[in-house]
Amino acid sequence: MARIWIVNHYASTPEQPLTSAFDVAKALTSKGHEVTIFASSYNHYRFEETRLRNDEGSREEFVEGVRFWWIKTPPYRANDWRRVVNMVVFAVCVFNLGRAWEEKPDVVIGATVHPLAALSAYLISRSKQVPFIYEVRDLWPLVLIEFGRVSRYGPTAWALGSLERFLSRQAAAIVSPLQGAPEYFAKQGIPLEKVVWIPHPIELARYSQVEPADGRTSAKFTLMYVGGHVYGFALGAVLRAAEICQNTMRDSVRFVLVGGGQEKPRLIELANRMNLQNVEFRGIIPKSELYRVMGEADAFILPMRDRPGLYKYGSSFNKLCDYLAAGRPVIFAGNPSYNPVVEARAGIVVKPEDPAALVQGIRHLMSLSADERLRMATHGQTYVRQRHEAGKIGEQWEKVVRSALASTSAVAHRERVTAS
């Protein structure tokens, strides 16, 4: 049995988005390990405090056998300086809390986003003299550079790049859901065997609540997006595609956009200006109700940004796993080097940020027979069952943890022998 600490700023419980950390922790707990997740109590999607009272700075909570330590952080409502302060406060508080505890973990896992959280995890591991595992969910600073947030040659990119290289060298292992992560880190001189690809976990039992698909369509073909309304997804292109559909396909198609995020007010305003009658915005829906809502979809849409420099190492979208597990075809507007929709034969791929191409994909999917759409849906479910089932992902994580512990023990033994 290992005592495992996970530092993940945005980790959440099953009723909220981003359950990957919880699903991994639950799978490890079921194997006899003791897992603690350190996360912020401020809800990144609702922009509100959801866990702690005003007089609390942190609190322990057990959820299905997994221990959470919620840490209070300052509020923000956009990707501005307030969010940076939120990140810094979390990093400082989690380090102080972890270092002060008499309890000692066997291993500490630090997850991005963001790299400051991973740095705190590393510093805790040093103070406790235990191995550090670096979980890389987003590539910093590459993601900021590709989205135009920072200059490739500016001081912010340099600092984040230096931090990423430092953490990758200090880690006993690097774990990433990006299939191209070994190639990415090899360019930094990291041995390939140190980098492990582990896909997102999916708790398949939850998706039994989604109404099974039969390939037939609703009176209005319903295309659904479930996820963050943020800059990283080209939802503006979806609205422009909806406008084309409204003008050329009458009332045969509707778009349902579910979720919250910084871009949502702007998107609603844009839809109103375009007088879109075939677009429905819904707010954040608790996971307990979300699966029923997902059953309304005839297909899901995943609209990526056109950033080949970023996605050449793969993509790590939790929502894509959700879509496939829900048993519906997916229209994937993207061009990553590793394309799960193509690999799974679970839908249609079109050019990113191209409304006309998206409409063409919609028309093509609608033209297929019910059996053809059902085969796509079934292929997607089979794919996630084989690649993403939480129990299998837990086994892969357990191997990484055991390997990190074994390698650290071997190094310590050699040092003792050398010293003697």
Q: How many helices (H) and strands (E) does the chain have?
A: 15, 16
> What distance, in Å, lies between the first and last C-alpha atoms of the chain?
30
Cα–Cα distances in angstroms (integers) from residue 254 to residues 87, 159, 223, 251, 272, in the given order? 38, 45, 6, 8, 15
42-50: average pLDDT = 87
The verdict on domain 3-201+389-419 having CATH code 3.30.465.10 is no
Coil/strand/helix, residue 275: coil
Looking at residue 9, the DSSP 8-state letter turns out to be T
Question: Would you say the CATH fold of 204-387 matches that of 3-201+389-419?
Answer: yes
Let me know: does 223 contact 253? Beta carbons within 8 Å.
Answer: yes
Domain range summary for the chain, segments of one domain joined by +: 3-201+389-419, 204-387
User: Could you tell me the pLDDT band of residue 318, with boundaries at 50, 70 and 90?
Assistant: confident
| Residue that has been written with the tokens 């698909």 in this structure | 213
Q: Indicate if the pLDDT at residue 43 is higher than 80.
A: yes
Is the pTM for the entire model greater than 0.75? Answer: yes
CB 48 within 8 A of CB 74: no
Q: Find where tokens 């897992």 sit.
A: 35
Q: Report which of 381, 364, 360, 382 is spatially closest to residue 372, judged by C-alpha positions.
A: 364
What integer is the mean pLDDT of 102-129?
96
Asked if residue 50 lies in contact with residue 234, where contact means CB atoms within 8 angstroms, the answer is no
Domain 204-387: CATH superfamily is: Glycogen Phosphorylase B; (3.40.50.2000)
Q: Are 298 and 218 in contact (CB under 8 A)?
A: yes
Residue range 335-347: average pLDDT?
Answer: 93
Closest CA to 108 of 31, 194, 36: 36
Most confident of 46-60, 282-296, 348-362: 348-362
Return the closest-CA partner of residue 105 out of 79, 132, 82.
Answer: 132
Contact between 56 and 115 under an 8 Å Cβ cutoff? The reply is: no
**pLDDT at 343 exceeding the cut of 90:** yes
Tokens 């609390």, located at residue: 56
For residue 122, what are the CA distances in angstroms to 20, 99, 355, 363, 402? 20, 11, 44, 50, 18
Average of per-residue pLDDT across 366-383: 96
Quote the Cα angle for 56-59-60, to 5°. Answer: 170
For residue 266, which amino acid is it?
R
The confidence band for 12, taking pLDDT boundaries of 50, 70 and 90, is very high
Write the burial class of residue 219 (CB in 10 Å: 0-12 exposed, 13-18 middle, 19+ buried): exposed
Alpha helices (H) along 32-141: 81-100, 115-128
Bond into 384 cis (ω within 30): no
pLDDT score recorded for residue 71: 97
Q: In angstroms, how far apart are the furthest CA atoms of the chain?
A: 82
What's the pLDDT score for residue 41?
96
Q: How far apart are CA 399 and CA 306, in angstroms?
A: 35
The mean pLDDT of 405-416, rounded to a whole number, is 61
DSSP state of 56: -
138-166 pLDDT tens trace? 998 999 999 988 999 999 999 999 999 99
The pLDDT value given to residue 414: 44
- The secondary structure of residue 230, as a DSSP letter, is S
- Please report the DSSP string for 295-328 in residue order: TT-SEEEEEB---HHHHTT----HHHHHHHHTT-
> Which helix H or strand E contains 67, and what residues bound it?
strand 66-71
